[in-house]
Structure 1
Amino acid sequence: MTDVALVLVVGGVAVFCGAVVQGSVGFGLGLVAAPVLTMLDHGVMPGAIQVVNMTLPLLTLAAEWRRVDWRGVGFAVLGRLPGSAVGALIVVYVSVTTLGVFVGVMVLLAVVLTARAPRVPRNGATITGAGFLSGVTGTATGIGGPPIALVYQSAKGPQIRATLAMFFFLSAGQSLVILAAVDRLPSRALATGAALIVPMALGFLASRPLRRYLDGGKVRVAVLGVAATSAAALILQSLTA
C-alpha cells in the first residue's frame, strides 16, 4: 500500500470515528483524527483536518441551526481571532510539543475542576477566553474543541452541537486562511482533506442513534469524557511528534 493510500484508508477510519463522536457530542473529530493523520503524514497537518473541520459542521447545522447561541458564537469568534494568530506563529516559530503538553494538562485540570462544579459560568468573558484558547490550539494542532465545549457543557445537547458547529465552521475557515498566509497550507493538505470528506459524512450519519441516547440526559458526562480524552490525545500527539 502506498503512503497516500495508507493516509486515506487509515486516516479515513480515524475521521469516520471522529465524526461519530462529534456528530453525537458536538466536538471530537480533531481529537480522534488529528493525532492519527499527524503520525501518518505530518506534512498534511493541520491543513487536512481543518478542511474536514469546516465541512462537518454544515451537516449539523442543516438539522439544528435554530439552536445556535449566536451571542456566544460572537464572543467565541472574537476571542479566536487573536488566538488563531498566536497559533499560526507557534506553527512557524515555536515548538508545538511544548504547547500541546501544556494545553493538554490545562484541559485535564479544567475537566477535573468543572466536573466537581454544578456548572461553568457562561458569559462574555469565559466564552471569549475559551475562543482564544481554541484559536491557539486549533490552528496549531487541529484540536480546538475542548475549551468551548467545557463552557457549554451544561447546555442542552442540540444547543451544544449547533453552537459548536457554527463556531467550528467559522474557525476552520479562519485557520485555513491564516495557514495559507504563513505558507503552511500545501495543496496536498487540501487534497487529502477533500478526500476525507466522504468517511466524515458516513461517520456523521452513523452518529444519529448515539445522539438520541445522549440527549436523554447524558450530554454533560459525554462532554467531560471527550474533553479529557482530547487532552490526553493532544499530549500524546505532542510527545510523539
Structure 2
Amino acid sequence: MEVLGLSVTQLCIGLVAVVVGACLQGSLGFGLGLVAAPVLVLLDTRLVPGPLLCMGVPLTFLIAWRGRRELDFSGIRWAIVGRVPGSMLGSVAVVVLAERWLAGLFAIAVLAAVGLSVVGLSALPTRRNLVVAGVVSGAMGTATSVGGPPVALLYQRSTGPELRASLAAFMVFGASFSLLALIVVGEFDWTDLGLASLLVPGILAGFGLSRWTSEILDSGYTRPAVLLFATASAVSILLRQVV
C-alpha cells in the first residue's frame, strides 16, 4: 500500500523522524531540519526541501505563540529583514548553482562560528549581526532546509524561553517566505503540499513532547545544546553531500 508514492514503512519512519525533530525544535528553537532532513531525503528526495519547509510553518508558529511573552521582537525583526533577500538568494541558488558546493559553504561557515564561540569570541545579537545572520539563514534554509543555526548562535547566551520564542518568530516568517520563494521558482506544488500533510501529525506530537524536554534544557544546558546541535547541523549537511 502506498500514499502519494510513499509506502507505509517509509511513512512510519518519516513520522518518527519528524516527531524527534519537532521535539528538538520546540525545546531549543531549531532542529527540525537537522533531524528530519537527512532521514526524509533518504526515504524520498521529494520530501526535502519543500514539504519539510511547509511542515515547519505550523511548528514555528506554535512555538512562538507558546513563548510570546519572552519574545525579543525588537532584535529579531532585524534578522527578518535579512531573511527576505537571503531566501531569494537561496531560491535562485537552488536552481543555478551546484547544491554540493553551496551546502558545503554554509556548513563550513556554521562550524567556524561554533569554533569562535567555543574560544569565547561569540558575536552578540546586534542589529548588524542579526541582519547578516538573517541573510545567511534565509539562503541556507531555502537551499538545505536547515536555517536555524546562524541566528541561534547569536542568541546562545539568552535564556531558553527567549531563545526559543525569538527563533520561532524569526523562523515562522522565514519558513513561510522560503516556501513562497520555492513556489515562485516552481520548486513546490500540490504534490509537495500533500506529502507535507502526511507528516503533520508528527509535528504536533513533537511539539507536545517539547513542553517537558525544554524544561530540562532550561536547567543550564541551553548554550551547550545550541553549540552541539549547530555543529551537528553543519556536519549533517556535509555528510548529506558526501553520501
Total equivalences in the alignment? 240
Deviation of 1:167 (Å): 0.7
Cα deviations by residue, 1:99-144 (Å, 9 ceiling, x for unpaired): 1112112211211111221753220111111100000110111100
Q: In structure 2, what is the Cα distance between the partners aligned to 1:166 and 1:8?
A: 29
Q: In structure 2, what is the Cα distance between the partners aligned to 1:50 and 1:125?
A: 26
Q: Report what 1:4 is aligned to.
A: 6
Pairing 1:165–2:149 present: no
What residue identity is the alignment partner of 2:123?
A: V
SS, match of residue 6 in structure 2: helix
SS, match of residue 207 in structure 1: helix
Deviation of 1:7 (Å): 3.8
Mean Cα deviation higher: 14-23 or 200-209: 200-209
SS, match of residue 112 in structure 1: helix
Pairing 1:28–2:28 present: no
Mean Cα deviation higher: 204-213 or 171-180: 204-213
Percent of aligned pairs with the same amino acid: 38
Cα deviations by residue, 1:131-171 (Å, 9 ceiling, x for unpaired): 00000110111100000000000000000000111111101
**TM-score under structure 1 length normalisation:** 0.95
Please give the residue correspondences for 1:1-241 in structure 2 after superposition, counting only pairs within 5 Å: 2=2, 3-5=5-7, 6-117=9-120, 119-240=122-243
What residue identity is the alignment partner of 1:169?
A: V
CA RMSD of aligned residues (A): 1.4
Q: In structure 2, what is the Cα distance between the partners aligned to 1:198 and 1:55?
A: 11
SS, match of residue 78 in structure 1: helix
Deviation of 1:27 (Å): 0.6
Mean Cα deviation higher: 6-15 or 65-74: 6-15
What residue identity is the alignment partner of 2:88?
A: A
Mean Cα deviation higher: 42-51 or 215-224: 42-51
Deviation of 1:73 (Å): 2.0
Q: In structure 2, what is the Cα distance between the partners aligned to 1:70 and 1:237?
A: 34
Q: In structure 2, what is the Cα distance between the partners aligned to 1:82 and 1:119?
A: 24
Cα deviations by residue, 1:71-106 (Å, 9 ceiling, x for unpaired): 222111111111111101111111111111121122
Deviation of 1:209 (Å): 2.1
What residue identity is the alignment partner of 1:4?
A: L
Q: In structure 2, what is the Cα distance between the partners aligned to 1:45 and 1:218?
A: 30
Structure 2 gaps of 5+ residues are none
Contact (CA 8 Å) 2:94, 2:143: kept in 1 or not?
Answer: yes
SS, match of residue 83 in structure 1: helix
Q: In structure 2, what is the Cα distance between the partners aligned to 1:14 and 1:194?
A: 15
